[in-house]
């Protein structure tokens, strides 16, 4: 049985990661509500942003903070471009088709990342946010400012987005579109612009999440790409609807996963956390069997 | 039966016979192995093709099912001296049971949630496999001994130990699996699946027990993928978690979409894209990452250019092609057919 | 005879069916009402896709709601949908035969019954033609053929004439009128085309906001003030 100190220390890790999953989850849920697209390439985009940041700061001598900005902008831009091309192209289709299409983007990015930054030869890269070096003690556990930023950012994004959706014109338009795109368009809402905002916003969050996860976990294209599963699990628990539930679900997932780490017997299985929780969420929360009239599949 | 409908199967049989007889003599050993992989993986793509193209269920977990099949086969091969066909059958059946059990919760869902739950379940299976490792001749349930220095290779069928012989063996097994699927498609399950894909509500209203037939489709796909897993075990001789990547299930879906989920030839095309091209690029010193990128582009292309779904697109394209050909030989006198 | 008693369906805060009670006696019965009245929901209850929170449906003396949805087809419920659902990649024959396969009818009579149903709906195409190659009107007829094959007892037609030109509707009307006598089934017809309803149905029931507001001989019901108000709102009805 691990010590209390261990458990407390891993709580910090869990909360930071949870914070990042939360900010990612919020991005994904808002985009889904506005466009019907479940952005499975979210992690891949973040991964590439992180690698670009590494490239600029470690190889090209950029200021590290500027490289982070580049990563975030990259995330926003590539997501926006994808959204502006493939959003309309797949507009009337089933969410399944839209989500599968993002898998196409995921594969392209995975291939590009492995070409530009090969992972062979055991050469490992690392991305360190300078705030990693600023630590403070809370009793026996040490907390870095990065940990604080990760959690704080998650909380901040959740609150800001919730407020944005409720109180601003653009936000209300996004909520309206989640209900019915055509009616919203008929009401004179600039649907394309609202969508663009949703895509760009989600992309920006993906870039930010990529940098944070690269720091907290590892700078590895495959791992970072598939960390999207954690975010996805949180979003599914929130039934792809509630931002607040996404936030709390993300924290819970992050904490559970981290807390299992020091428990030796099951430590290796800790990454099953998002899978197990997502399956439960899918089964329990989507209990009501929906019988579809009309074509299935892609 | 109309004469036209016999031509395509005849051509298919001829091609397979040609491949069976002549590939080992035409190609170098390296490429014979590439074709073996095509034969093996065409079984997997066929399974996914049935799910996606015929029933309308997108599964993002077939890679994990294949890994399970390979694991089961390897375990049995190490633990017993059973003849290979028996091992293949056993791994097929066990994988079928496991795959169906794991897929049971997914059956109440459709569309996006079905795909997501298969993704989640596959992820969980992958982690389990990463931890219990693949059998390497050890004892105990998992058959894995971390301390083993000299790992014994997984055996091949006694009649097919050499690469050319194993190629032919794989082709035969593949043909058998294709026939099994064909029998399903031509019979009641095939019609029920067509009804389910068209509209689950209408299928239910027509008296079809949709849950049963969806389960059946899962079971069939898992069975043949389990059999393919047995071939994979024998092909590679040594298995570890690196043999099966996390992205495998995604690239499988990509090539199935590209090759055409609906047709059986599509399954072979998909396997060719997935495995042969990989070996080709490897031979030429080109990074396999280009294939990953190609598959990504392929997914986007297929989904955007098939406005009414990929299944509709195929017959439409073929019909358009047929009209073009007919138009070359005659002058159309009647007004254009109204496209609904 | 179909007896519906106090049938209530709840979706969240909405009651698509609100203590609906009506009896469909025999022959072809109409069910009309403005959009959103609950007609398709009612059909969905009969098909088994929607579970009511209360109420009963007794079909020829048997408790319909107690049967699992896919078993109702075997019992004899047949249904068409607002957007036709004939399977495009199968032939006309296979489409109709599939329903026959899942019904109480025997295998030996299959070919005869299927071809008979196709002829009954006056569908003049090669039975081996793929439904995907047919035009919209013909697909509708395939749907109707599916609805009348294999010992049907209750045939639910959901807007079968939607989008059909007048002459096709006239043909359809003849077919629908002949179903009860030829096939021995009770037909419930939902449609917005009032001339179709008047020509096919002796009796008609009217649904509005989930409640039955009128029921009786079709001509009387169509003249009923409450019915007109339901369709046109509470404004003054033209004389």
Beta-carbon separation of C90 and B191 below 8 A: yes
Best CA proximity match to A99, nearest among B221, B115, C41:
B115
Question: Nearest 5°: phi and psi at B60?
Answer: -105, 30
B338 shares contact with chain C (CB less than 8 Å): yes
Best CA proximity match to C146, nearest among C99, C106, C105, C83:
C99
A291 shares contact with chain C (CB less than 8 Å): yes
SS3 B157: coil
pLDDT at residue B312 greater than cutoff 80 = no
Which H or E run includes C7? Answer: strand C2-11
Residue C225 lies in a domain: yes
Phi/psi class of residue B59: alpha, beta or left (left: φ > 0; alpha: ψ in -120 to 50)? beta
SS3 A93: coil
Mutation target vs A (from C9, C40, C49; most A CBs, 10 A cutoff)? C49
DSSP B285: T
- With cut-offs at 50, 70 and 90, classify the pLDDT of residue A289: low
Question: In chain C, which ranges are continuous DSSP H helix?
Answer: 39-47, 69-75, 92-101, 110-120, 136-148, 166-183, 194-200, 218-223, 225-232
pLDDT more than 90, % of chain B = 56
pLDDT at residue B276 greater than cutoff 70 = yes
Q: Which chains touch C (3 or more CB pairs under 8 A)?
A: A, B
Judge contact between A84 and A198, C-beta under 8 A: no
B192 shares contact with chain A (CB less than 8 Å): no
Mutation target vs B (from C43, C51, C76, C89; most B CBs, 10 A cutoff)? C89
Residues of chain B contacting residue C89, judged by C-beta atoms under 8 Å apart: 194, 311, 315
Beta-carbon separation of C83 and A291 below 8 A: no
Tell me how long chain C is.
Answer: 239
Question: What is the rounded average pLDDT of the residues B47-52?
Answer: 95
Judge contact between C54 and C9, C-beta under 8 A: no
* Minimal-distance CA residue of chain B relative to C104: B207
* Minimal-distance CA residue of chain A relative to C44: A291
* Interface size between A and B, measured as CB pairs under 8 A: 180
pLDDT at residue B57 greater than cutoff 60 = yes
pLDDT the model gives residue C228: 81
Angstroms from A38 CA to nearest CA on chain B: 9
B204 shares contact with chain A (CB less than 8 Å): yes
Pairwise CA distance, residues B204 & A295, whole Å: 14
Q: CB neighbours of B121 closer than 8 A, spacing ≥ 6?
A: A275, A279, B61, B64, B102, B103, B105, B106
Question: What is the rounded average pLDDT of the residues A229-258?
Answer: 94
pLDDT the model gives residue B336: 42
* Minimal-distance CA residue of chain C relative to A290: C49
* Minimal-distance CA residue of chain B relative to C81: B202
**Smallest Cβ distance to C98: which of B191, B201, B210?**
B191
Range name among A185-189, A267-271, A276-280, B87-91 with the lowest pLDDT average: A185-189
ipTM: 0.92
pLDDT the model gives residue A173: 81
Beta-carbon separation of B206 and C102 below 8 A: yes
Beta-carbon separation of B204 and C48 below 8 A: yes
Beta-carbon separation of A99 and B128 below 8 A: no
* Minimal-distance CA residue of chain A relative to C11: A288
B53 shares contact with chain A (CB less than 8 Å): yes
Judge contact between A26 and A157, C-beta under 8 A: yes
* Minimal-distance CA residue of chain B relative to A268: B131
Residues of chain A contacting residue B253, judged by C-beta atoms under 8 Å apart: 100, 103
Pairwise CA distance, residues A298 & B117, whole Å: 17
CA B2 to chain centre: 30
Residues of chain A contacting residue C49, judged by C-beta atoms under 8 Å apart: 291
* Minimal-distance CA residue of chain A relative to C82: A293
Angstroms from B214 CA to nearest CA on chain A: 12
Angstroms from A40 CA to nearest CA on chain B: 10
Angstroms from A295 CA to nearest CA on chain C: 9
Residues of chain A contacting residue C85, judged by C-beta atoms under 8 Å apart: 293-294
* Minimal-distance CA residue of chain C relative to B319: C133
Beta-carbon separation of C49 and B195 below 8 A: no
Pairwise CA distance, residues C188 & C195, whole Å: 16
Judge contact between C188 and C205, C-beta under 8 A: no
**Smallest Cβ distance to B111: which of A96, A276, A279?**
A96
Judge contact between C123 and C142, C-beta under 8 A: yes
The C-side interface with A (CB below 8 A) comprises 49, 81, 83, 85
A294 shares contact with chain C (CB less than 8 Å): yes
Angstroms from A94 CA to nearest CA on chain B: 8
Residues of chain B contacting residue A229, judged by C-beta atoms under 8 Å apart: 119-120, 123
Beta-carbon separation of B340 and C70 below 8 A: no
* Minimal-distance CA residue of chain A relative to B287: A115
Pairwise CA distance, residues B262 & B205, whole Å: 25
CA distance from start to end of chain C: 36
Residue C237 lies in a domain: no
pLDDT the model gives residue B325: 61
Distances (CA, A) of B323 to A127, B310, B326, C134: 59, 20, 5, 16
Beta-carbon separation of B109 and A275 below 8 A: no
**Smallest Cβ distance to B340: which of C69, C74, C135?**
C135
pLDDT the model gives residue B330: 53
- With cut-offs at 50, 70 and 90, classify the pLDDT of residue B5: low
Crossing angle, helix A191-216 and helix A169-179, to 10 degrees?
100
Angstroms from A98 CA to nearest CA on chain C: 24
CATH number for the domain spanning C72: value is 3.40.50.300
Residues of chain A contacting residue C83, judged by C-beta atoms under 8 Å apart: 293-294
A293 shares contact with chain C (CB less than 8 Å): yes
Best CA proximity match to B68, nearest among B5, B124, B27:
B124
Question: What is the rounded average pLDDT of the residues B7-36?
Answer: 91
CA B85 to chain centre: 19
Q: Tell me: the pLDDT tens digits for B61-79?
A: 999 999 999 999 999 999 8
Residues of chain B contacting residue A94, judged by C-beta atoms under 8 Å apart: 111-112
pTM given for the model: 0.88
pLDDT at residue B39 greater than cutoff 90 = yes
Crossing angle, helix A64-89 and helix A42-54, to 10 degrees?
150
Compute and round to an integer the Cα radius of gyration of chain C.
Answer: 18
Q: Which two structure tokens, joined as six digits, stand for B332?
A: 């159309």
* Minimal-distance CA residue of chain C relative to B192: C98
Residues of chain B contacting residue C81, judged by C-beta atoms under 8 Å apart: 199, 201-202, 205
Residue C187 lies in a domain: yes
Q: Tell me: the pLDDT tens digits for A1-34?
A: 778 888 888 999 999 999 999 999 999 999 999 8
Full set of structural domains in chain B with CATH: 4-329 (1.10.3470)
What is the DSSP annotation of C143-188?
HHHHHHSSS-SEEEEESTTTT--HHHHHHHHHHHHHHHHHH--EEE
Q: Please, which residues 257-276 of chain B have a Cβ atom closer than 8 Å to chain A?
A: 257, 261
More confident of the two residues A188 and C172: C172
Mutation target vs B (from A38, A103, A117, A229; most B CBs, 10 A cutoff)? A103
Angstroms from B335 CA to nearest CA on chain C: 15
Distances (CA, A) of A234 to A27, A82, A223, A248, A282: 12, 24, 18, 8, 11
Pairwise CA distance, residues A200 & B320, whole Å: 40
| Domain count for chain C | 1
B34 shares contact with chain A (CB less than 8 Å): no
Judge contact between A209 and A53, C-beta under 8 A: no
- With cut-offs at 50, 70 and 90, classify the pLDDT of residue B175: very high
Pairwise CA distance, residues B269 & B254, whole Å: 12
Residues of chain C contacting residue A293, judged by C-beta atoms under 8 Å apart: 81, 83, 85
Q: Which of A46-50, A125-129, C95-99 tops mean pLDDT?
A: A46-50
Domain containing C91: what range?
Answer: 2-232
Residues of chain B contacting residue C90, judged by C-beta atoms under 8 Å apart: 191, 194
DSSP A245: H
Tens-binned pLDDT, residue by residue, of chain C (239 aa): 999 999 999 887 888 899 999 999 889 999 998 888 889 899 999 998 888 999 999 999 899 999 988 899 889 999 998 876 788 888 999 999 989 988 888 888 889 999 999 999 988 889 888 888 888 888 888 989 999 998 899 999 999 888 788 888 888 899 999 999 888 899 999 988 888 998 989 999 999 888 888 888 988 888 888 888 877 765 544 44
């Amino acid at each position: 049985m691990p010590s209390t100190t261990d458990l407390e220390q891993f709580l910090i890790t869990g909360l930071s990661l949870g914070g990042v999953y939360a900010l990612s989850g919020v991005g994904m849920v808002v985009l889904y509500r506005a466009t019907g697209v479940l952005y499975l390439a979210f992690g891949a985009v973040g991964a590439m942003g992180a690698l670009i940041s590494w490239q600029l700061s470690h190889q090209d001598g950029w200021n590290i903070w500027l490289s982070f900005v580049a990563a975030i902008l990259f995330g926003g831009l590539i997501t926006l471009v994808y959204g502006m091309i493939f959003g309309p192209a797949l507009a009337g289709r089933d969410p399944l088709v839209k989500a599968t299409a993002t898998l196409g983007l995921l594969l392209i990015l995975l291939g590009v990342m492995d070409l530009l930054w090969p992972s062979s030869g055991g050469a490992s890269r690392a991305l360190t946010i300078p705030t990693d070096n600023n630590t403070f003690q809370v009793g026996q556990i040490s907390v870095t400012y990065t940990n604080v930023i990760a959690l704080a950012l998650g909380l901040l994004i959740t609150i800001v987005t919730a407020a944005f959706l409720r109180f601003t014109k653009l936000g209300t338009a996004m909520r309206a579109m989640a209900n019915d795109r055509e009616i919203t368009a008929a009401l004179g809402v600039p649907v394309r612009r609202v969508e663009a905002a949703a895509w760009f916003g989600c992309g920006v969050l993906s870039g930010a999440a990529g940098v944070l996860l690269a720091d907290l976990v590892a700078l590895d294209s495959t791992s970072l790409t598939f960390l999207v599963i954690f975010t996805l699990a949180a979003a599914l628990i929130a039934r792809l609807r509630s931002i607040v539930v996404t936030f709390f679900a993300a924290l819970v997932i992050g904490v559970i996963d981290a807390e299992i780490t020091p428990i030796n017997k099951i430590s290796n299985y800790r990454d099953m956390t998002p899978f197990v929780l997502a399956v439960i969420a899918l089964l329990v929360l989507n209990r009501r069997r929906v019988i579809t009239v009309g074509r299935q599949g892609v | 039966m109309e004469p036209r409908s016999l031509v395509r199967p005849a051509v298919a049989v001829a091609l397979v016979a040609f491949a069976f007889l002549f590939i080992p003599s035409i190609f170098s050993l390296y490429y014979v192995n590439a074709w073996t992989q095509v034969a093996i993986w065409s079984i997997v793509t066929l399974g996914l093709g049935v799910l996606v193209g015929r029933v309308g269920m997108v599964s993002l977990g077939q890679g994990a099912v294949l890994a399970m099949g390979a694991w089961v086969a390897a375990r049995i091969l190490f633990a017993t001296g059973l003849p290979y066909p028996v091992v293949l059958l056993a791994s097929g059946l066990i994988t079928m049971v496991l795959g169906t059990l794991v897929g049971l919760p997914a059956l109440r869902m459709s569309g996006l949630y079905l795909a997501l739950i298969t993704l989640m379940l596959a992820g969980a299976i992958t982690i389990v496999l990463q931890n219990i490792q693949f059998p390497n001749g050890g004892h105990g349930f998992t058959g894995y001994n971390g301390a083993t220095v000299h790992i014994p290779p997984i055996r091949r069928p006694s009649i097919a130990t050499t690469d050319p012989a194993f190629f032919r063996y794989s082709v035969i097994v593949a043909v058998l699996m294709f026939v099994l699927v064909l029998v399903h498609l031509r019979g009641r399950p095939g019609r029920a699946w067509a009804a389910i894909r068209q509209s689950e509500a209408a299928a239910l209203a027509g008296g079809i027990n949709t849950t049963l037939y969806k389960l059946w489709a899962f079971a069939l796909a898992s069975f043949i993928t389990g059999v393919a897993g047995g071939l994979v075990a024998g092909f590679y001789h040594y298995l570890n978690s690196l043999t099966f990547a996390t992205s495998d299930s995604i690239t499988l879906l990509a090539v199935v979409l590209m090759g055409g989920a609906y047709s059986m030839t599509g399954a072979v095309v998909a396997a060719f894209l997935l495995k042969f091209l990989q070996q080709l690029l490897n031979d030429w010193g080109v990074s396999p990452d280009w294939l990953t990128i190609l598959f990504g582009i392929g997914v986007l292309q297929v989904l955007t250019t098939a406005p009414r779904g990929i299944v509709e697109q195929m017959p439409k394209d073929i019909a358009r092609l047929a009209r073009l050909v007919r138009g070359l030989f005659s002058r159309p006198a009647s007004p254009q057919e109204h496209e609904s | 005879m179909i007896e519906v008693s106090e049938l209530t369906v709840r979706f969240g805060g909405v009651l698509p069916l609100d203590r609906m009670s009506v009896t469909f006696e025999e022959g072809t019965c109409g069910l009309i009402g403005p959009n959103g009245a609950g007609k398709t929901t009612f059909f969905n209850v009969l098909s088994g896709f929607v579970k009511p929170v209360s109420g009963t449906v007794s079909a020829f003396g048997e408790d319909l709601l107690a049967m699992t949805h896919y078993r109702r087809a075997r019992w004899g419920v047949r249904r068409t949908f607002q957007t036709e659902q004939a399977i495009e990649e199968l032939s006309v024959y296979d489409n109709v035969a599939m329903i026959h396969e899942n019904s109480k009818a025997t295998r030996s009579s299959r070919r005869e019954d299927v071809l008979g149903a196709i002829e009954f709906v006056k569908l003049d195409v090669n039975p081996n033609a793929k439904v995907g190659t047919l035009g919209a009107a013909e697909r509708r007829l395939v749907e109707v053929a599916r609805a009348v094959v294999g010992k049907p007892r209750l045939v639910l037609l959901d807007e079968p004439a939607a989008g059909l030109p007048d002459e096709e509707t006239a043909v359809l009307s003849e077919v629908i009128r002949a179903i009860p006598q030829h096939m021995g089934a009770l037909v419930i017809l939902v449609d917005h085309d009032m001339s179709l309803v008047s020509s096919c149905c002796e009796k008609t029931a009217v649904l509005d906001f989930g409640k039955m507001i009128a029921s009786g001989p079709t001509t009387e019901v169509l003249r009923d003030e409450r019915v007109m108000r339901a369709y046109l709102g509470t404004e003054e009805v033209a004389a």
